Amino acid sequence: MFIKSVFNMLFFTVIFMTCSEKEKTLQEENIINITEPKTPLKNATKTFFVGMAVRANRLEDGSEYDKIIKREYESITAEYEMKMNVILPSKGNYNWSNADKIVDYAIANGLNVHGHALIWHESTPEWLENYSGTDEEFEQEIKEYITNVLQRYKGKVTSWDVINEGVNNSGGTLRNTVFRQRMGDDYMAKCLQFARDADPNAMLFYNDYGMCTNISKQNKVFDLVADWKNRNIPIDGIGYQMHISYLKPIRQQIEIATDRAIASDLLLHYSELDIRTNPNNDITVLTEERAIAQKLKYKEVVQIYNSIPTKNQYALTIWGMKDDDSWLLPHHNNDNEWPLLYDKSFDFKKAHTGFLEGLN
Ligand code: XIL
C-alpha cells in the first residue's frame, strides 16, 4: 500500500513536471493551453443534445474524429451530404451513399440525427434550378424528393430542416428562390406538409442565420410561423444557425431572439454554432486574449440555451470539429480564423472549456 502510494506520488510528480514544461513551451509558442478540462460535453448536459456537423469520410472507426464524436456528442448533422445537390444531382438519380453512411454511423453508435437541409437555395441541383417542365411538374418533383428522403430515413432521422434560409436579409421579404418562383409564396407551407405526410413523427424545422441581429428577418420568420400555426401547417421548431463572432450579437440580442422562439411555443435549435475570433481580420495568430474572448462568448451562448425551458430545448449543434476544418475559412478566403472548440491538432481550446462552463 505504502509502496503503491509512493509510486503514485513519484509517477504523478514526473507527469506533472513533464506536462507543465510542455505547457510552458506551448504557451511561449502561443499555442493553445493544453490544461483545459476534458469533461465530455455530453456528460455535462441532461436536457438537450450536444451536436456536431460531420462528413461521411471522417467517420472511420478509430479515427480521431470518430473518437471525439463518440466521447463528446449525442447528435450529428451532415455538414453537406444530406443536401439536395448531393442526394439528387440529376433527375431520377438518387445518390444515398454518404447520407446512408452518416445515418448508419449514428445508429451504430446510438446518436441522434438532425437532417439538414431539404430546401436550400444554395444546394439546389442544376437540373432543378433550370427546370424545363411546368410549375406543376416542378412541384411534383419536390414533393417526391421530400417524400423519398423522409421515408428512407423514417425512424432514423429525428428532425429535419425543411426550409433553410428562406427569408431575405433586408426588407423582411421571401427570398426569391426557384422554389418560390415555381411553387408560389406558400411553397414553405407546402414543403412542411409534404414532410409531415411522409414521416408524421419527424420534427420539422425552419432554419436561418442572422436571427438575433436582423430584426426584419426575425419579424418575417415569426410572421410565417404564426401564419403556419393558424392554418395548422406543421412546424415544430426553429433553428438559429448561430454563425456569430466574439463581438456580436451581444447577450441581450441573443436573449431577446431566444425569448421570441420560446413565446411562439416552438422547439429552438441553435443549429450551426461557430464563433469567429477574427471578424475584423486584425490578428494572424489566435492570441490568448482573443481565445479568452471566444471562450466567454461560447459560455454566454451555452448559458442562454441551457437556461431556456426544457420543453423548448432540442439541441445545440456545433458546425465543425476543429478550427482548420471550418467552412468559414474557404467562405471568407482567410485561414486566420479559429471558430471551433478544437485546434488543428485536435487539442481542446479554451472555447471548449467555455462551452462546459456554460452548462454549469
Ligand atoms: C456549409 C458547409 O459547412 C460547407 O461544407 C458546404 O460546402 C456549404 O454549406 N448555412 C447552412 C449550412 O445552413 O448548410 C452551411 O454549411 C453553412 C451556412
Tens of pLDDT along 80-106? 999 999 999 999 999 999 999 999 999
Q: Which atom of ligand 1 is nearest to the CA of 319?
A: 3
Residue 309 lies in a domain: yes
Find the helix or strand (DSSP H, E) in which 169 lies.
none
Name residue 215's amino acid.
I
Residue 31 lies in a domain: no
Domain interval for residue 146? 46-359
Largest CA distance in the chain: 84
CA 355, 109, 65: angle at the middle one, nearest 5?
55
**Which residues are near ligand 1 (CB < 6 Å)?**
79-80, 117, 164, 241, 272, 327
Name residue 2's amino acid.
F
Q: Which range, of 5-9, 94-98, 101-105, 291-295, averages the lowest pLDDT? A: 5-9
**What CATH code is carried by the domain that includes residue 232?**
3.20.20.80
Residue 32 lies in a domain: no
Residue 236 lies in a domain: yes
Positions of E strands within the chain: 49-54, 75-78, 112-115, 119-120, 159-164, 203-208, 237-240, 243-245, 267-276, 313-318
pLDDT at 320: 98
Ligand 1, atom 9: closest residue by C-alpha: 80
CA 21 remoteness from chain centre: 37
DSSP category for residue 323:
G
- Among residues 36, 72, 141, 272, the one annotated as catalytic is 272
Residue reference for cell 465530455: 40
Task: State the CB neighbour count (10 A cutoff) for residue 63.
Answer: 12
Per the structure, how many domains does the chain have? 1
Residue 204 lies in a domain: yes
- Among residues 165, 300, 337, 357, the one annotated as catalytic is 165
- What is the percentage of the chain residues whose pLDDT exceeds 90? 87
Q: Which atom of ligand 1 is nearest to the CA of 53?
A: 3
- Provide the whole-model pTM: 0.90
Give the β-pairing of 159-164 and 119-120. parallel
Residue 39 lies in a domain: no
Residue 149 lies in a domain: yes
